[in-house]
Structure 1
Amino acid sequence: MPQPTSKRADAARNRDRILAAARTAFAGADADVSMAEISRRAGVGMATLYRNFPGRRELLEALYTEEVDAICAAAADAPDDPAGARLTAWVRRFFAFSTSKRAIAAELLTHVAGTDPVFEGGRTRVLAAGRPLLEAAQAAGEVRADLTLEQVLDMVIAIARIQGDAAYVEPILDAAFAGLRP
């Protein structure tokens, strides 16, 4: 007879498989993927999918929250480099998040209001996680003192919206980082 913990572990594995399949599906060129297709890719039945995520919105919110968690953790785990380098590495991670999650965020916005707690809570958490990195870089004289983290991240989000491959966008991002220096 299986142990209750094994049933919980199986449920957790199913949830992880669903999230992994959805993450891959929404990162693709055709991000308009059905819940049935996500279920198929995850190798779980529709009932299992809907037990974990009652609707598309809940699945998108879980993916978005998972990425916000990773961004916040990256700020806490920044390498012991000079303050400006730590900030730059973290902001590059945020840039990658912004470009790769464009489809998820766009679709999520169609299901929620712009002031949805998922977005507001995510933004608040990201700002709280990154603010110490900016403050340290400013205190070290490596980043202009007249910028807020909101301004830096808004700049990165704007650059992330630029259409083009990495060879086109990276020099723009590098120029923006150069502009952060005093």
Structure 2
Amino acid sequence: MSAAERARAERIEVRRSRESILAAAERHWAVHDADPSMAQLAKDSGVGIATLYRRFPGIDEVIRALHARLVAEFACIEEAVAVQPTAWDGVVALVTGIVDVLQDHPAIPRLNRKMVALDDDRQFSDGWADRLAALVTAAQAEGRLRPDVNANDVTFAAFRIGSYSNLPPDEAGRILGRQIGIVLDGLRADGGTRPLPGGPIAMDDLHRVFRYEVEHPVD
């Protein structure tokens, strides 16, 4: 094997091992608040402990790398918002997009909290602040978004819905869809309501949710 081939093989191995480590870390923080030990993370990712330490000197570096990767997932929401025909449609795309990303990556809320503890990190809010404020102002100028809310009101509501990840898979879409509909109706300037998706959430549905939480606990 030539020197160039060896270098290429090493780059591939570095990338592969980093991917394995970050994937294992995301799986862990999707259900646990407590950090894994480096030994546990090495075991979960299928890499040697020495390899893990070469890629990441400690858990804090894993948190930073994984947080940066998952925050990048929100770029697709900006793209979806940008192609909407009206600012209000952009608000709808923003809310549904945030919920979708959080459902796909339930580790994000925990990692956000960990980043604040590590760095008082503001990269997520700073990167979006001006664009979201402009979107909200435009939707209010259209007369479709109530005038007494700001971008933080909109995103906070979306994050609260999306962060509820411990739902039975066969019920999650209906329950979340109805909550999104309720939030959007609350944001409408005309106070109007639209039919909520899915059927009403009955007491039996709640019991199934509670049972699922008992059988699938998170830390």
Instruction: Note whether the superposition's TM-score is higher than 0.5.
Output: yes
The TM-score range, normalised by the shorter chain, is 0.7 to 0.9
Q: Does 1:19 align with 2:26?
A: no
Contact 2:77 2:98 in 1 (8 A): no
5 Å-filtered alignment, 1:29-178, equals 29-30=31-32, 32=34, 33-78=36-81, 80-83=83-86, 84-98=88-102, 100=106, 101-106=108-113, 108=114, 112=117, 116-118=119-121, 120-160=122-162, 165=167, 166=172, 167-178=174-185
What is the rounded CA distance, in whole Å, between the counterparts of 2:64 and 2:29 in structure 1?
A: 13
RMSD of equivalent CA atoms:
3.1
Contact 1:75 1:133 in 2 (8 A): no
TM-fit CA distance, 1:66? 1.4
Aligned length: 176
What is the rounded CA distance, in whole Å, between the counterparts of 1:2 and 1:128 in structure 2?
A: 48
| 1:141/1:49 CA distance change after superposition, 3 Å | farther
Computing the radius of gyration from Cα coordinates, the structure with the larger value is 2
What is the rounded CA distance, in whole Å, between the counterparts of 1:179 and 1:13 in structure 2?
A: 46
Query: Which stretches in structure 1 are left out of the alignment for 5+ residues?
Result: none
Q: 2:193 maps to what in 1? A: none
Q: Which deviates further from its counterpart, 38-47 or 162-171?
A: 162-171
Once the two structures are superposed, residues 85-118 of structure 1 have per-residue CA deviations (whole angstroms, 9 ceiling, x without a partner) of 3332232232344561233334x16x825xx253
